[in-house]
């Protein structure tokens, strides 16, 4: 009797519920707590009115927080009440309908997942099935998304791709560069997928001011169609990557004639400030020799110097001047890069002026890769999406009880 009273105090279920029996199994290391509803009337599931008890369902069992080293379970024959709309099962204060674990157990699972970032490790620590943990992830993400203010009304977004499985399997990730969170994820990176992503994540298209991205056609064309007032900003990282690829193509061509260019890829592509002493010596010898690759490197540096332009007029003027220098260089590989930039002139100029970029999206990509690596991959997109939003969606994941 004394044990029952202790658990009544600990569980704090209210005046309508009583702990009637407590059983301890020292073989299985389990504690079973039996709870009963007292009284002749109970509230309907919507808590609108009291109705007479009609009957009780078969005994249900919920996993609760451990009692010392013992796994603990709550048991109850939940009453049903007869309402004008029919017989209904009442709600219990310790768990949501249809779940087989308590709110407190779910909160513990969420905390452990945040700490371990690993579903398998969490299931082992709690001595429960992997599927239980996986269901809680899905459920908490759905709850968190529902708790967001209907749909987000952010003004600045980034969109990027992330590999899902081996081969050409991708997901498209919409994120907030200011909040540093993933807004949503869809499978694939074609126009249909991007339309779905924007539609389910953004409530008012007219409020979007900027969206940063690479030069993937499906992203560009869909954003132009659906967000006509948004300024497309081509990501600085990807612009520099185009230039780096051009430099390396020049190096590969010239190395056939100039043996000293062998194994100098990272000497030319790294930021000059990050070169080692040995790399500095090698870099200087290449610059002094005035190879085409040296001039290609200068073209990249001249372009990087335009970042942070004060206004669009200055950016356009400096970009035109930079383009003229590329033409004057007559370096075929860099001319191809300049042509690509010219085809996406507006987005490139926006990148030269705006402070928004895909830098945060790239950092989130790294975090998504960490989630993927720890789990050793995901078999289905839905599980991958839930994991991404669970760990990096900035959602309120906890049950509201």
- What is the C-alpha end-to-end distance of the chain, expressed in Å? 28
- Answer whether 92's CB lies under 8 Å from 86's CB: no
Q: What is the pTM of this model?
A: 0.85
- Answer whether 260's CB lies under 8 Å from 285's CB: yes
Q: What single-letter DSSP state applies at residue 57?
A: P
- Which pLDDT score is estimated for 300? 94
Judged against a pLDDT cut of 60, whether residue 151 lies above it is answered with no
Strand order of the sheet with strand 41-43? Answer: 41-43, 50-56, 79-83, 86-89
Mean pLDDT of 55-77: 95
Q: Which helix (H) or strand (E) holds 399?
A: none
Q: Which helix (H) or strand (E) holds 77?
A: none
Is residue 397 classed as helix, strand or coil in its secondary structure?
coil
- Which pLDDT score is estimated for 74? 97
- Which pLDDT score is estimated for 152? 61
- Which pLDDT score is estimated for 167? 66
- Answer whether 351's CB lies under 8 Å from 331's CB: no
DSSP letters along 287-323, please?
A: HHHT-HHHHHHHHHHHHHTTTT-SSHHHHHHHHHHHH
> What are the backbone dihedrals phi and psi of residue 4, each rounded to the nearest 5 degrees, phi first?
-60, -40
Mean pLDDT taken over the chain: 90
Q: How far is CA 194 from CA 166, 190, 220, 254, in A?
A: 21, 6, 10, 41
* HSE-CB of 392 using CA atoms within 13 angstroms: 29
Residues in the chain: 401
- Which pLDDT score is estimated for 355? 79
Cα angle 319-325-331, degrees, rounded to a multiple of 5: 120
Mean pLDDT of 302-310: 91
Mean pLDDT of 105-133: 95
Directed axis angle between helix 332-343 and helix 345-353, to 10°? 90
> What are the backbone dihedrals phi and psi of residue 103, each rounded to the nearest 5 degrees, phi first?
-60, -45
Cα dihedral 213, 218, 224, 226 sign: negative
- Which pLDDT score is estimated for 45? 82
- Answer whether 302's CB lies under 8 Å from 239's CB: no
Judged against a pLDDT cut of 90, whether residue 237 lies above it is answered with no
- Which pLDDT score is estimated for 150? 54
Q: How far is CA 259 from CA 102, 245, 280, 301, 359, in A?
A: 69, 20, 18, 24, 36
Judged against a pLDDT cut of 70, whether residue 116 lies above it is answered with yes
- Which pLDDT score is estimated for 24? 95
Extents of the domains making up the chain: 1-92, 236-353
- Which pLDDT score is estimated for 363? 84
Judged against a pLDDT cut of 70, whether residue 182 lies above it is answered with yes
Judged against a pLDDT cut of 90, whether residue 30 lies above it is answered with yes
Judged against a pLDDT cut of 90, whether residue 334 lies above it is answered with yes
Q: What is the spatial distance between Cα 353 and Cα 312, in angstroms, rounded to a whole number? A: 6
- Answer whether 222's CB lies under 8 Å from 211's CB: no
Q: What is the spatial distance between Cα 203 and Cα 149, in angstroms, rounded to a whole number? A: 10
Judged against a pLDDT cut of 90, whether residue 281 lies above it is answered with no
Judged against a pLDDT cut of 80, whether residue 161 lies above it is answered with yes
What percent of the chain has pLDDT above 90?
63
The pLDDT-based confidence of 2 (bands split at 50, 70, 90) is: confident
- Which pLDDT score is estimated for 159? 93
- Which pLDDT score is estimated for 1? 61
Q: Which two tokens stand for residue 291?
A: 């190879």
């Amino acid at each position: 009797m004394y044990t029952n009273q202790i658990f009544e105090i600990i569980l704090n279920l209210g005046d309508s519920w009583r702990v009637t029996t407590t059983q301890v199994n020292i073989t299985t290391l389990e504690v079973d707590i039996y709870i009963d509803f007292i009284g002749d009337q109970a509230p309907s599931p919507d808590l609108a009115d009291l109705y007479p008890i009609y009957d009780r369902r078969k005994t249900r069992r919920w996993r609760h927080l451990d009692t010392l080293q013992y796994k603990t379970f709550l048991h109850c024959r939940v009453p049903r009440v007869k309402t004008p709309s029919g017989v209904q099962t009442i709600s219990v204060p310790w768990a949501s309908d249809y779940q087989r674990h308590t709110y407190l157990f779910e909160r513990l699972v969420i905390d452990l997942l945040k700490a371990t970032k690993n579903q398998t490790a969490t299931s082992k620590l709690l001595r429960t099935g992997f599927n239980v943990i996986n269901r809680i992830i899905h459920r908490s993400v759905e709850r968190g998304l529902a708790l967001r203010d209907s749909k987000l009304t952010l003004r600045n977004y980034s969109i990027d791709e992330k590999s899902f499985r081996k081969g050409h399997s991708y997901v498209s990730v919409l994120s907030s560069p200011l909040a540093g969170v993933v807004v949503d994820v869809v499978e694939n990176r074609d126009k249909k997928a991007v339309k779905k992503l924007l539609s389910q994540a953004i409530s008012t298209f007219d409020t979007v001011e900027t969206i940063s991205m690479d030069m993937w056609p499906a992203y560009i064309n869909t954003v132009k169609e659906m967000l006509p007032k948004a300024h497309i900003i081509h990501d600085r990282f990807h612009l520099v990557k185009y230039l780096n690829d051009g430099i390396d193509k020049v190096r590969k061509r010239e190395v056939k004639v100039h043996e000293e260019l062998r194994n100098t890829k990272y000497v030319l592509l790294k930021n000059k400030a990050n070169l080692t002493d040995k790399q500095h010596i090698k870099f200087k010898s290449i610059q002094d020799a005035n190879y085409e690759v040296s001039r290609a490197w200068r073209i990249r540096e001249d372009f990087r110097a335009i970042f942070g332009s004060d206004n669009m007029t200055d950016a356009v003027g400096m970009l035109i001047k930079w383009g003229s220098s590329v033409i004057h260089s007559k370096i075929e590989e860099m001319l191809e890069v300049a042509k690509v930039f010219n085809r996406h002139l507006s987005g490139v100029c926006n990148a030269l002026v705006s402070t928004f970029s895909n830098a945060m999206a790239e950092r989130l990509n790294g975090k998504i890769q960490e989630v993927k690596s720890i789990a050793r991959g995901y078999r289905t997109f839905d599980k991958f999406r839930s994991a991404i939003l669970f760990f990096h969606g900035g959602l309120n994941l906890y049950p509201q009880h």
